[in-house]
Structure 1
Amino acid sequence: MRSILTMGLILIVLSQTQVFGRSVYDPSAEEAYISVEGTTATFAGSISDLNVTKFLDSVEGRVVETLVIASGGGEINAGMRLGEWVFDNQADVVVEKMCMSSCANYVFTAGRRKIINANAIVGWHGNALQKRGITDADVRAELIQAYEQLDEQAKNKLDLEGMLAQAIQQTREYMENSKAKQARFFEKIDVDEYICRVGNEEYGVRDFFLLSVEDMAKFGVRDVLAPDDYELTDLEPYRRMGKGVEFIRLISSEAVSRMIR
């Protein structure tokens, strides 16, 4: 299962998406499209600390009742910042095209009402508590790979072992801080965080899983409006991009209650 904490593995399933049928925006854009018109705000792009800060600056002092979002995800703490704003402002969340990864975890779940538009999807693939998170070996491998791309002169200026030790320690601290923040976040919005990882840990989904409106409610994600045929949404455009995306149906309510942590 791909780790939500590894930014390089965040879903980029489509290159473009259309918001309100007027202009084309990229849900994975490094620089998010942000606008506020009346009581509706739009956020289309990667959920990064910089993009969320820009968004919060743009809505400061404004009455915003609806957030239209198209995002493939992003950094988890930035996702929680945006989700807290959604929850504190009791804003509706409208999904255009996709809301994946940290967008699904922290923004969609925080909405007063959650509206999934036609042909849009909401997908999860883990959170800060997932069983397969970033290990020390992962950090070491990624840093060594980057180090090997350098020329010999650059390598000679670096203390590789010192860099590895620092990176591993920083990653451990990041993960522990993220877990603590996440616990407070889900307690605040009254949603069971296991919705973010049930498909990977109980159903063997390797990548992204999608849930029915009925199954979302079992984790406290209520007031979701989606097309009647949401579970029949064509996922081939996503799969053609080489990404695993699939719907799952949870087993009986009794079993679900045993699974939920």
Structure 2
Amino acid sequence: MQRILKKIVIISMGSLLLLQPSVVFSATKPLLNSEMIQNKYGSYGVKVLKKTPTLRVSKLYSTHDGKEIARTLAFVIFPKVIDERVREEHVLITEKSQSIGSTFKQRGWIVQKQNRYFGMRPEIPKNVRQLMGGIEDQPLVLHIYELSVEQEGKKIHYCTIAELHHPDYLTTKKLKKIYGKHTEISAPHTISLDEILKLVDAELEKITVLFQEAKFDFQAEKATITKNGKVVRYIGTMSDENVQRLLKETEGQKIKKLIISSSGGETCSAIEFGFWVAKNKIDVDVERACLSSCANYVFPAAKKKKIYQHAVVAWHGNMRQKDLLSEVELKKYAQEMFKSMPADERKLLGNSNALFQKMKTHTEFCRTREDEFFKLVGVDEYVCRIGNEKYDAQGFFFMSKNDMEHFGIKNISMPKNYEKTNLDEFRKRAPFDFIRLQH
């Protein structure tokens, strides 16, 4: 990946101008980030993602439907030696993970920001966009400033801060409005602008939502469904209840992208999920895993498909697989299942044959819907079972981009060396084999 933050730009009179390193003062004292986020979104929190003696990386977030959405990613660079006059505040900030601005304000300090740089960051890593609620790939404003505190006429430089802002929270235009006209002044800095940009570049690439931030319970019975603009994030299994909830919450809306982590689920429900993706021409990003029915029906239905680093798309059969229960086996299964049902449910059904007929009708319906689905998306259903039936895969199997394309699954973006993806976490539950087609 090309080095990020090669340049920062601002938009002026329709042209791109480089903004030279400078320190500017605000015409009026702006609110703290904590205050602005609280005022705009009704909630505020801070969570530290990384901490060293000279660096703190944190997200400043608001909460929506139980989900934390990062409004600002803050990279705080501390001097090697902390002024003793702010030692107590520094301990609260670094050891107790408290907000910088709020901590100083509550203890009677006046917080001052001296701007050094702000402009548009042209390329945003996917993990950062995930922290911000799954926003689309777009330039974000980066703001760099020195933070000082003052009390009883004594001013102390505390740290250097670089902040990357959510587009709904702060833009270049909004920052200009807050800080007024830029005025160059000379001032000593503890770290050069180039060093700051390189540091931010490196730290952004290290942010790994999959392992450091989000909890991917892709086997959750109750799926977590969140929406941010035209992007939907779905984590959990695909039951009828979950899929119907998804359809209801997105009804009448133009959804462009689905970010998903799912272990699969009920066949018919997953097929309807796939129809929704295909008919609405939705792009699908696999955040951690798309297994079983998710791989069968959601992934191939997408207009564009992306598999994130450390993620996997894997199959293990469908409604046409050879080892699907025969009618005799299904009837025997229905008899055993009927015996284990609660008395009131057995009374409602009457006998095991009624249960068998119900299961048989459902199986036939799902098989018909599956045929209709694969015809709609132009994909060979054999992709769902070839690993088990031809290559002796004992559980799940996954394959290369070229082999997926062989079955009609196109417009795929995936990491290099995808076949070497570390699946130790998954293999604790079931076998996962990489297969390569023998043409």
Q: Under TM normalisation by the shorter chain, which class is it?
A: 0.7 to 0.9
The aligned runs of 1:1-261 (5 Å cut-off) are 20=131, 21=209, 22-135=213-326, 136-138=328-330, 140-141=332-333, 143-144=335-336, 147=339, 163-241=351-429, 243-252=430-439
Q: State the Cα distance separating 1:138 from its structure 2 match.
A: 4.9
Higher relative contact order (CA 8 A, sep 6+): 1
Distance 2:331 2:264 in 1: 21
Q: Percent identity?
A: 35
Counterpart of 1:111, as a letter, is A
Structure 1, unpaired ranges of 5+ = 1-17, 253-261
Query: Relative to structure 1, is the Cα distance of residues 214 and 141 closer, same or farther in structure 2, using a 3 angstrom cutoff?
Result: same
Query: Relative to structure 1, is the Cα distance of residues 139 and 101 closer, same or farther in structure 2, using a 3 angstrom cutoff?
Result: farther
Q: Do the aligned partners of 2:334 and 2:353 also contact (CA within 8 Å) in 1? A: no
Counterpart of 1:58, as a letter, is E
Distance 1:145 1:182 in 2: 25
Aligned length: 229
Distance 1:248 1:143 in 2: 38
Distance 2:346 2:218 in 1: 37
Paired residue secondary structure (1:200): helix
Paired residue secondary structure (2:324): coil
Q: Do the aligned partners of 2:338 and 2:346 also contact (CA within 8 Å) in 1? A: no
Distance 1:206 1:248 in 2: 12
Higher strand proportion (structure 1 or 2):
2
Structure 2, unpaired ranges of 5+ = 1-126, 132-208
The runs of 4+ residues in structure 1 deviating greater than 4 Å are: none
Query: Relative to structure 1, is the Cα distance of residues 149 and 82 closer, same or farther in structure 2, using a 3 angstrom cutoff?
Result: closer
Query: Relative to structure 1, is the Cα distance of residues 92 and 232 closer, same or farther in structure 2, using a 3 angstrom cutoff?
Result: same
Higher helix proportion (structure 1 or 2):
1
Aligned twin of 1:15: none
Q: State the Cα distance separating 1:145 from its structure 2 match.
A: 6.1
Q: Do the aligned partners of 2:338 and 2:352 also contact (CA within 8 Å) in 1? A: no
Distance 2:259 2:418 in 1: 18
Q: Do the aligned partners of 1:140 and 1:164 also contact (CA within 8 Å) in 2? A: no
Distance 2:374 2:229 in 1: 29
Paired residue secondary structure (2:316): coil
Q: Which has the higher Rg, Structure 1 or Structure 2?
A: 2
Once the two structures are superposed, residues 164-210 of structure 1 have per-residue CA deviations (whole angstroms, 9 ceiling, x without a partner) of: 21222222211211111111111011111111111111112121110
Distance 1:108 1:74 in 2: 14
| TM-score (norm. length: structure 1) | 0.81
Q: State the Cα distance separating 1:158 from its structure 2 match.
A: 5.5
Paired residue secondary structure (1:80): helix
Distance 2:373 2:292 in 1: 16
Once the two structures are superposed, residues 71-105 of structure 1 have per-residue CA deviations (whole angstroms, 9 ceiling, x without a partner) of: 00001111111111111111110001100011000
Query: Relative to structure 1, is the Cα distance of residues 149 and 48 closer, same or farther in structure 2, using a 3 angstrom cutoff?
Result: closer
Distance 1:61 1:248 in 2: 40
Q: Do the aligned partners of 1:235 and 1:246 also contact (CA within 8 Å) in 2? A: no
Q: Do the aligned partners of 1:25 and 1:33 also contact (CA within 8 Å) in 2? A: no
Once the two structures are superposed, residues 117-168 of structure 1 have per-residue CA deviations (whole angstroms, 9 ceiling, x without a partner) of: 0110001111111111123425534652673697xxx59x958x96321222
What CA RMSD, in Å, does the superposition of the two structures yield over aligned residues?
2.3
Q: Do the aligned partners of 2:216 and 2:288 also contact (CA within 8 Å) in 1? A: no
Q: Do the aligned partners of 2:338 and 2:355 also contact (CA within 8 Å) in 1? A: no
Query: Relative to structure 1, is the Cα distance of residues 148 and 221 closer, same or farther in structure 2, using a 3 angstrom cutoff?
Result: closer
Query: Relative to structure 1, is the Cα distance of residues 247 and 139 closer, same or farther in structure 2, using a 3 angstrom cutoff?
Result: farther
Aligned twin of 1:8: none
